[in-house]
Structures are given as C-alpha cells and as structure tokens.
C-alpha cells in the first residue's frame, strides 16, 4: 500500500511539474507582451502630446498628418500586441484548466487512498491493537519491528492528510488564477475596442486636416521646394566632404606605395650617351588606389556593425515623420519625396544625441536650415542636420548619447534630419537609419 501511495505521489508530481513548466513559459511570454504594450502606450502618449503641442500654434502642417500616421501605426501595433496577449491568455487559461482537472483528480485519488487506509485500520482494530500486537511478539527484536511498522502506518496516514490539504490549497489557488486570467482577457478585449475607436477618430481627424491643407496647397509647395533645395545643398556638402577625405586618403596611400617602391627597386646605372628611361607605369597608376584601413578603423567598424539595429535614437523624444528613400508626400498627392535619411519631429531645444562613439569631422551651416554635424565612426558617418546651436567642434571625440547641440525650428516645427553613410575606397552610400537604430 505504501509503495503504491509513493508511486502515485511521484507520478502526480511529474505531471504537475510539466504543467507548471508550461504555465511558467506562458507567463514569461505574457509578461514580454505586456512590456511591449507599455512601450507602445508610452509612444502613443508622446506622439499625442506632440500633435497637441503643434495644434496649439494654430497652424496646420504636413508634419501633423505624418504624426497622425505614426499614431495610427502605433495604435495598430497595440491591437496586434493585444491580439498576442489574448492568444497567450487563451493558452494560459487552457493550461490552468488542465491543471485544475489534474489537481481535482489528485485530490479524489488521495482521498480514496486515505479512506482505504482508514477503513483497513478500522477493520483490523481488534487484531492489530497496537499494544497487544507489540506485546505478543516472540522476542524483543520482533516487538521492535512491529512497533516501527505501526509507527510507519500512523505517519503514512498523517502524511496523506497533509498531502490532501496541500493539494486542495493548490487547487483553490489555481481556480483563483483562472478567474483572474478570464477577467484580464475581458479587460483586454474592452481595451482593444477602445483602441479601434481611437484609430477611427485619428483617421477622421486626418481627413479633416487634409481637407484644410488642400486650401493651403500653394504655401505647402513653396515650403517643400525650399526643403528640397536645403536637402540638395546638404547632400552636395556631404558628398564633397567624403570626396575630399577619400582624395586625401588616396594621396597618403600613393605616397606610401611610392616610398615602398623606391626602397625595393634596385638602382641601375645609365650607360654614357643614353638618356634615362621613364619607369613603366604601375597598376596603382592606372586605376583608383585602394585604401588600406588602419587596425583601429577596422575595429571601430566591427563595433559599429555589431550594434546594427541597436543604436540609440538621436533624440530622446520624437516621432519619425519622414522615412528613408522614396515615398509619397503626406499631403501633396503628386509629390514623391526622396529622403537620404529620416526626419524626427520633436520639441524645440531637444538635445541632439550622438548615436555611437566617434570623432567630429565636420560642422557647417546651411542658411535657413541651421547647423549640421558629421561624426565619423571608422568608415561610417552619421549626419545631424537642423540644429539651432552646437556644443562640439571639429576634432572632438564624442561618446554614444553625448549631446551635440539642440534642435532648431523649421517652419514653426522642431525637426532633426538624421543620415547614416557607409564609405568605401571610391564613394559614400546613404544607409537606411531605421535599420541601424532601435525599433520603437
């Protein structure tokens, strides 16, 4: 009987352990989704505050449409997140129901076994009277063994009672957890309905704003033309800086090759009466000289590339209102924008933060478009444009998240334009910054 009880307890414990393990995995997944939902909620709140701040200025802009687009996108992510949480709650509820069924089975089985033990003890109460049973032994050794048997039976029954009580308590706890999970699922469904309503409201607000902006189309086109001109000037300046730096590096490389060639080429005497022959052209003179990267540059590149997708945002608070590459203008149907970086709409005076350690290699201004800073990170460069003031100078070494200056105002809005470039031996190529910075 005791062996059967122990075997039952062991098997039940294994089954319960598996169920608990599955439940813990579900809980971890649920906590991760909840953390993501909190982050999305914070972004919605931040974007909502910036839209409200922009509306206070009594001036409608295309960026307000872009911010509404972002807010709608965040709300849609919220719905996806809630869907994930609800799915995970369904799994949790099913697991909790399975655990309750298992625990109910354990309680009934334990009670049944205990009842059998009590019945057997009652049935044999005369035959197995403890004192008579012990005293009727043939010798002391047998009496001691009988005493230990009686003691074990008594302890077994007591242990059985404790196990029943513990299992019943666990069952009660699981029933309460199931009730809470169902309540949580109901609350999430209500929250999801609220978010869907808010998306409809945002879309209606967006349509209203677009209608009003149509009346100011001429003004918007003038603003966009100025912005395009400023961006062309910026791009031309960046390309000029990259070309000058590459030319300087190639010149250093060529001088290094000439010195090595001079050292390794044996001197030959020219016979009398003959003019010296011109040296044969080397391969380095017939095509672009490859630039050899210094070990510290290679190491910095490796560190920079390792952090791809994990670089901090260049502003602590803000919303992306213009993305990399070609895309439609938020309010002018026939205009396609081609952005070499991304635009962050933020607050006036917001600190501009360096996204990775490096060296300031250029600081310049574009009339009407503010200050621009280029930070070099090995063969990568980050560009920060639209600053009202700067707090660094050329040659400064800067760290990740160090302030470079403050965001200025363009057409009554605080916008930081951010670019990321990769430079090889011949040219620089603009990268999509959103592939490098943390996703929000």
In this predicted model, what pLDDT tens digit does every residue of 267-289 receive, in sequence order? 555 565 555 554 444 343 445 56
Q: 254 and 209: one domain?
A: no
Q: Which range among 41-55, 234-248, 376-390, 408-422 has the greatest average pLDDT? A: 376-390
Residue 269 lies inside a defined structural domain of this protein: no
CATH code at position 406: 2.70.70.10
Q: Give the per-residue pLDDT at 356.
A: 95
* 434 confidence band (pLDDT: 50, 70, 90): very high
Please compute the mean of the pLDDT values over residues 246-264 and round it to a whole number: 75
Name the residue range of residue 31's domain. Answer: 2-214
Please compute the mean of the pLDDT values over residues 5-29 and round it to a whole number: 58
Annotate 36-47 with b (16+ C-beta within 10 A) or e (fewer): bbeebeebbebb
Task: Tokens for 50, please give them.
Answer: 């910036």
Residue 21 lies inside a defined structural domain of this protein: yes
Please compute the mean of the pLDDT values over residues 76-81 and round it to a whole number: 87
Q: Give the per-residue pLDDT at 92.
A: 81
Query: Residue 419, exposed/middle/buried by CB under 10 A (0-12, 13-18, 19+)?
Result: buried
Helices 2-56, 62-123: inter-axial angle, 10-degree rounding: 160
Q: What is the distance between the alpha carbons of residues 235 and 241, in angstroms, rounded to a whole number? A: 10
Q: What is the distance between the alpha carbons of residues 243 and 251, in angstroms, rounded to a whole number? A: 12
Name 172's Cβ contacts closer than 8 Å, sequence gap at least 6: none
Task: List the single range of 16-30, 345-359, 375-389 with lowest mean pLDDT.
Answer: 16-30
Q: Give the per-residue pLDDT at 12.
A: 55
Q: What is the distance between the alpha carbons of residues 195 and 82, in angstroms, rounded to a whole number? A: 10
Residue 374 has pLDDT above 80, yes or no: yes
Q: 238 and 363: one domain?
A: yes
Number of domains in the chain: 2
Report phi then psi at 320, rounded to 5. -75, 120
How many angstroms from the chain centroid is the CA of residue 199? 24
Three-state SS at 25: helix
Q: 228 and 132: one domain?
A: no
Q: 208 and 70: one domain?
A: yes
Q: Give the per-residue pLDDT at 21.
A: 61
H or E element, residue 22? helix 2-56
Residue 279 lies inside a defined structural domain of this protein: no
H or E element, residue 361? strand 358-366
* In contact, 341 and 417? CB cutoff 8 Å: yes
Residue 271 lies inside a defined structural domain of this protein: no
Q: 229 and 160: one domain?
A: no
Q: What is the distance between the alpha carbons of residues 305 and 422, in angstroms, rounded to a whole number? A: 11
Q: 410 and 302: one domain?
A: yes
Q: 22 and 132: one domain?
A: yes
Q: 67 and 25: one domain?
A: yes
Q: Between these two residues, 427 and 9, which has the higher pLDDT value?
A: 427
Q: 166 and 251: one domain?
A: no
Please compute the mean of the pLDDT values over residues 163-182 and round it to a whole number: 79
Q: 172 and 243: one domain?
A: no
Q: Are strands 413-423 and 380-390 parallel, antiparallel or unpaired?
A: antiparallel
* In contact, 198 and 75? CB cutoff 8 Å: yes
Residue 285 lies inside a defined structural domain of this protein: no
Q: What is the distance between the alpha carbons of residues 82 and 196, in angstroms, rounded to a whole number? A: 11
- The whole-chain average pLDDT of the chain stands at 78
Q: 58 and 7: one domain?
A: yes
> Rounded to the nearest 5 degrees, what angle is found at the Cα of 56, between the Cα atoms of 50 and 62?
60
Q: 11 and 56: one domain?
A: yes
Let me know how long the chain is: 440
* 350 confidence band (pLDDT: 50, 70, 90): very high
| Residue at a domain's end among 214, 237, 253 | 214
Q: Give the per-residue pLDDT at 208.
A: 81
Q: Give the per-residue pLDDT at 82.
A: 85
Report phi then psi at 292, rounded to 5. -85, 125
Residue 273 lies inside a defined structural domain of this protein: no
* In contact, 257 and 393? CB cutoff 8 Å: no
Residue 23 has pLDDT above 60, yes or no: no
Residue 284 lies inside a defined structural domain of this protein: no
Closest CA to 332 of 106, 40, 63: 63
Please compute the mean of the pLDDT values over residues 364-378 and round it to a whole number: 89
Side-chain-facing half-sphere of 318: CA atoms under 13 Å: 29
Q: What are the tens digits of pLDDT across the range 376-431?
A: 998 899 999 999 999 999 999 999 999 999 999 877 788 999 999 998 878 889 99
> H helices of 124-139, where?
130-135
Closest CA to 340 of 353, 319, 324: 324
Q: Give the per-residue pLDDT at 309.
A: 92
Closest CA to 389 of 411, 414, 412: 414
Q: Give the per-residue pLDDT at 421.
A: 93
CATH code at position 57: 1.10.287
In the chain, the N- to C-terminal Cα span, in Å, equals: 61
| Residue at a domain's end among 181, 214, 247 | 214
**Percent of residues, the chain, with pLDDT higher than 90:** 20
Residue 201 has pLDDT above 60, yes or no: yes
Task: List the single range of 115-129, 308-322, 389-403 with lowest mean pLDDT.
Answer: 115-129
Residue 380 lies inside a defined structural domain of this protein: yes
Given CA atoms 55, 60, 63, 65 in this order, what sign does their dihedral have? positive
Number of other CB atoms surrounding residue 33 within 10 Å = 19
| Residue at a domain's end among 179, 214, 249 | 214
Number of other CB atoms surrounding residue 187 within 10 Å = 10
Name 304's Cβ contacts closer than 8 Å, sequence gap at least 6: 356, 377, 378, 380
Q: Between these two residues, 135 and 415, which has the higher pLDDT value?
A: 415
Report field, pTM of the whole predicted structure over 0.75: no
């Amino acid at each position: 009987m005791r062996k059967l009880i122990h075997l039952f307890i062991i098997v039940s414990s294994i089954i319960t352990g598996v169920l608990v393990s599955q439940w813990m995995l579900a809980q971890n997944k649920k906590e991760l989704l909840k953390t993501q939902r909190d982050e999305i909620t914070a972004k919605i709140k931040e974007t909502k505050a910036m839209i409200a701040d922009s509306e206070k200025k009594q001036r409608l802009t295309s960026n307000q449409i872009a911010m509404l687009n972002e807010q709608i996108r965040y709300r849609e992510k919220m719905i996806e997140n809630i869907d994930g949480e609800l799915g995970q709650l369904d799994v949790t509820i099913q697991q909790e129901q399975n655990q309750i069924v298992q625990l109910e089975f354990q309680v009934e089985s334990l009670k049944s076994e205990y009842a059998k033990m009590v019945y057997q003890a009652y049935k044999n109460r005369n035959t197995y009277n403890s004192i008579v049973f012990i005293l009727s032994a043939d010798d002391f050794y047998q009496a001691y063994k009988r005493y230990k048997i009686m003691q074990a039976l008594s302890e077994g029954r007591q242990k059985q009672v404790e196990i029943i009580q513990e299992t019943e308590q666990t069952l009660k706890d699981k029933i309460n957890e199931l009730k809470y999970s169902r309540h949580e699922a109901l609350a999430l469904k209500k929250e999801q309905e609220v978010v869907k309503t808010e998306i409809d409201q945002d879309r209606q607000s967006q349509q209203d704003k677009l209608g009003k902006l149509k009346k100011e189309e001429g003004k918007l086109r003038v603003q966009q033309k100025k912005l395009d001109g400023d961006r062309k000037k910026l791009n031309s300046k960046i390309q000029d800086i990259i070309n000058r730096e590459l030319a300087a590096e190639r010149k250093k490389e060529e001088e290094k090759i000439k010195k090595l060639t001079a050292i390794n080429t044996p001197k030959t005497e020219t016979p009398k009466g003959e003019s010296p022959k011109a040296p044969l052209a080397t391969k380095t003179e017939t095509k672009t000289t490859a630039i050899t990267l210094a070990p510290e540059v290679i190491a910095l590149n490796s560190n920079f590339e390792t952090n791809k997708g994990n670089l901090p945002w260049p502003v602590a608070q803000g919303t992306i209102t213009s993305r990399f590459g070609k895309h439609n203008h938020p309010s002018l149907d026939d205009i396609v924008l081609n952005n070499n970086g991304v635009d962050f709409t933020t607050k006036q005076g917001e600190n501009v933060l360096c996204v990775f350690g490096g060296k300031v290699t250029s600081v310049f201004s574009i009339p009407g478009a503010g200050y621009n800073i280029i930070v070099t990170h090995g063969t990568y460069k980050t560009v920060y444009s639209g600053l009202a003031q700067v707090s660094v100078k050329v040659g400064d070494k800067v760290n990740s998240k160090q302030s470079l200056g403050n965001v200025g105002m363009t057409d009554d809005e605080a916008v930081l334009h951010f670019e990321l470039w990769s430079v090889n031996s011949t040219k620089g190529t603009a990268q999509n910054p959103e592939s490098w910075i943390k996703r929000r």
